[in-house]
Each structure stands twice: as C-alpha cells, then as structure tokens.
Amino acid sequence: MNGIELLRIAVLVVYIVSGLLLSSLIVGKRIHQRRQLAHYRRRAKYLALLSRGLTTPDLRVDLGPRVAEDQAFLDALIDIRTSVIGPESDELATFVGRFGVMEGYARRLRGRLFVTRRLRAAVALAEVADDSFAPVLMDHLGDREPEIRIQAARGLARMHWTPAIDAIVDRFSVENPWVRSRFEDTLLSFGSKATWPLIAYIRVNHRFESPGSAAAIRTLANLGDRDAVTPLIDILGRASDIEIKLAAIETLGVLGVPLAFESLEKMFTAEDWRLRAKAATALAKVGDPRSLPALSSGLIDSNWWVRRNAAQGLSRYPEGIRRLHAAIRSAFPFARDAAAEALADAGEVIAARQRIEEGVPTDEDLELIEFIQSELVVPG
C-alpha cells in the first residue's frame, strides 16, 4: 500500500468517526433530554405522593409495585428520606415496604454484574429498608466494591443494628482510608454503644497497627462518650506509636474531662513538638485551671505551633486572658503576635475598641490597640 492510499484510508476513517460522534451527540442529546424531562416529572409526582403519605399516614395511595423500580421514585424517596428524620421516616419505610420493593433491591445487590445497579440497590436499602434487611447488609460489609461497603455500613447504622458495630470496627485495619473515614462516620449513629467495641479494638491493635487504631481513637472523640476517658488515659500511657498518642491526646481534649489533666500535662513536656502542640490544645479544652502555668510556659516554647496553640488555649480562661494581655509586653515577638491573635479571636480586640470609644478603656486595652496599630515588622 503506498502513501496516498494510506492517506485516503486515514481521511475516511477520521471523517467516519467524526460523523458517528456528531450524530450521537445530536441524537443522543435529544433522547437524553426527553428522558430527563420525563424523569423530572415523575419525580415531582412521587414527591407529592410521598409527602401526602407522610402527612396523612392512613391515606390510601394507589401505587403499583412496578413503580418502585423507577429510578425517579427512588430519587424522590431518598430525597425525602434525607430531608426528614424521625418517626415519620420509619413510616415511610413501612409504606414503601408494602410493595415488596426492598426484596427486589436485596436481590439486585446480591447479583454479580452491573455495579451501578448494585450500588443503587445498596443505596436504597441503606436509606429506607427496615432491619429485616440487616443480614443482607451485614453480608455486604465486605463487598468487592468500596462504595457498596460504605452503603452497607450506612444502612446498618441507620437501623441501629448493634451486631454491626463489631463488624465495622474490625474492618478499620483492612480498609482504605476513604472507606475507613466513612465507616468512622457511620459509627457515630450508634452513639455510645460503639464506645466499648472501639476501645476493645484499640486495646488489642494499637501495638501492631496504627492507622486503624488512630482512626478508632478519633471516632471516640466524635462520639463524645466520657466513659472512654479512663481507658484512653491508660492507652496514652502505654502506646509507643506517635500517631496513636496524637490521636489519644486530641480525643482526651475533645472529651474535655479534667481527669485527663495529668497525662496531658506530662505530654506537654514531650520531646516531639507535635505531642506538645496537641497537648496544648487539649489542655485548654479540658478546662482545668491547673493548665494555666503549663500553657503560659508554652508561650515561649521553642516550637511555633506549640506557642500558638498555647496562646489560643490561654484565651479560654479569664485568668489566661490576663496573661495574654501581659504577653503583649513580652520580649519575644512571636509571643506577642500569638497573644494578640488569641485575644482577637476571643473578641478582646473588639471589646477593647468599644471601651475606648465609650471612654472607659483599661490600660491593657490601650496597650493592645497600640500594639495592633503599630508598624508591622515581619520577623525574618
């Protein structure tokens, strides 16, 4: 084949492909649009229907079982479900369950092909199914598809299916970070029931595996169950991995129990600046006035983050505010700046300006405002 024949073929191919693309663009668009419009109309209809079903629960509604296969129906259902919480949405579940829809979804989920369909089925079950479908979802906590695993966990959490807690927590070490973070969120729905399974997991695993244990510790912070404080203090004492220590410090701060004060104070003298910085924030949150000396010393720590967190921490105590005002006169520029920032964040600057306007400023107010207005010299 010589050059020119090749050229002719190439030109032909290119224009045929272009023609195909062009026609599919035009035709495809029209079809897609019509489908969209129909979908939107059906969805609006279902929204109205479901809304009426919610407000007048004994309403006789004429809904065939096939309608539940309609994606528009599922969209409307999920939208209502996500806007409304509480007893009404359980009624929604029973209402929909009347049509045998959920069995259909469970069947689809168990299938092997068509990831999208399986995913949609998982979403439907997660959002609306009652707890008779919990075993199905439990089976799929270990599904091939990460998004399906996430939906399974979500559904089990919504159903408050307690046997799922251990299963979810156990997966912390094997899951990828994205799925694990979504699992962390689902555990929050279980509330304090998740506390002890998490602690058990941490106790067993913290020596061998860090990311999952650290995630478990942070989940305890989000759960806010103060029962976790004592075991965490213990774990903080035993742990050797720094990520675990950091997570424990942070969590103890969030849980805000003065009992943690001593362990946190000890961390404040650690070698690693990250531990000190986290401890500074945690000490402030714990709310124990014994923290003040430690935090004040933090203002002149060698590490910048420690200084900053210490300043922010001080601003939470009235006595700390006083010390911050004093720090404005400090010889260390960073201490001054950190103190000024913390005071501004605590609203002291506005208060000071107001008092100046009203004619009743304190010396500290004047000092603060003068410092802020002074020429900015960025330290080299």
Partner 1 sequence: MNQAAPKRILVADDSDTITTLLETALTAGGYEVLIARNGFDTYELGKSENVDLVILDHLMPGLLGLEIIERWRSEGIEVPVIVLSGVDDDRTVVSSLEVGAVDFIRKPFRLNELMARVKQRFPL
Partner 2 sequence: MTLEIIKWIGYGTVAYYVVLQVYMFALALLSGYVLRRTYHTRRFGRVNEMLSSQTSPPISILIPAYNEVAGIVDSVRSMSIVGYPRFEIVVTNDGSTDGTLEALIAAFRLEKVRIPYRPDIETARIRAFYRGRGAVDITVIDKENGGRADALNAAINAARYPYVLCTDADVVMDAAALVRGMQRVVEDRERTIGVGGNIRPLNGSRVELGHLISASVPRRMIPRMQVLEYMRTFLASRPGWSAMSALPLVSGAFGIWKRSALLEVGGYKRGHLGEDLDITMRLHRHHRDKGIPYRIVYESSAVLWTEVPDNVRVLRRQRIRWHRGLMTATRDFLPMTFNPRYGALGMVTWAGFFLFEFLAPLLEVTGWVMLPLAYALGALNTETVVLMLLLALGAGLMNSLVALWLDEPYGFYTGPEDTSRLIVIAMIESFGLRQMTVLWRIRAVLGGKRTRHWGQMERKGVANLGARA
Residues forming contacts to partner 2 in the complex (CB under 8 A) are 3-4, 7-8, 10-11, 14-15, 17-18, 21-22, 24-26, 28-29, 32-33, 36, 82, 115-116, 119-120, 123, 146-147, 151, 154, 176-178, 181-182, 184-185, 218, 221-222, 304, 307-308, 311, 334, 336-338, 340-341, 344-345, 347, 349-350, 353, 371-373, 376, 378-380
Q: Within its chain, how far is the Cα of 214 from the centroid?
A: 15
116: partner contacted, choices partner 1, partner 2, none (Cβ within 5-8 A by kind): partner 2
Q: How far does CA 222 lie from the centroid of its chain? A: 9
CA angle, residues 78, 82, 83, in degrees to nearest 5? 120
Q: How far is CA 321 from CA 21, 118, 229, 268, 338, in A?
A: 68, 57, 28, 20, 12
Residue 143 Cβ vs partner 2, minimum distance, rounded to whole Å? 13
Nearest to 276 by CA among 245, 251, 255: 245
> Closest separation between CB of residue 177 and partner 2, Å?
5
User: Which of left, alpha, beta for 224 (phi over 0: left; psi -120 to 50: alpha)?
Assistant: left
Q: How far is CA 324 from the centre of its chain?
A: 33
Nearer to partner 1, 3 or 86 (CB): 86
Residue 338, Cβ density class (10 Å: 0-12 exposed, 13-18 middle, ≥19 buried):
buried
83 touches, from partner 1, partner 2, none (C-beta below 5 to 8 Å by class): partner 1
- Taking the C-alpha atoms of residue 230 and residue 228, their distance in angstroms, rounded to an integer, is 6
CB of 48 to partner 1, least distance (A): 6
C-beta of 51 vs 192, nearer to partner 1:
51
| Minimum gap (Å) between residue 54 Cβ and partner 2 | 20
Question: Which are the contacts of 209, defined by CB distance < 8 A and separation ≥ 6?
Answer: 173
At closest approach, how far in Å is the CB of 54 from partner 1?
6
User: Which of residues 54 and 242 has its CB atom nearest to partner 1 in the complex?
Assistant: 54
What single-letter amino acid sits at 279?
A
Please state, in angstroms and rounded to a whole number, the distance separating the CA atoms of residues 38 and 263.
63
Cβ 230 to partner 1 shortest distance, Å: 29
Q: Which positions lie near partner 1, rule CB under 8 A?
A: 44, 47-48, 51-52, 54-56, 76, 79-80, 82-88
Residue 167: name its binding partner from partner 2, partner 1, none (Cβ under 5 to 8 Å by kind).
none
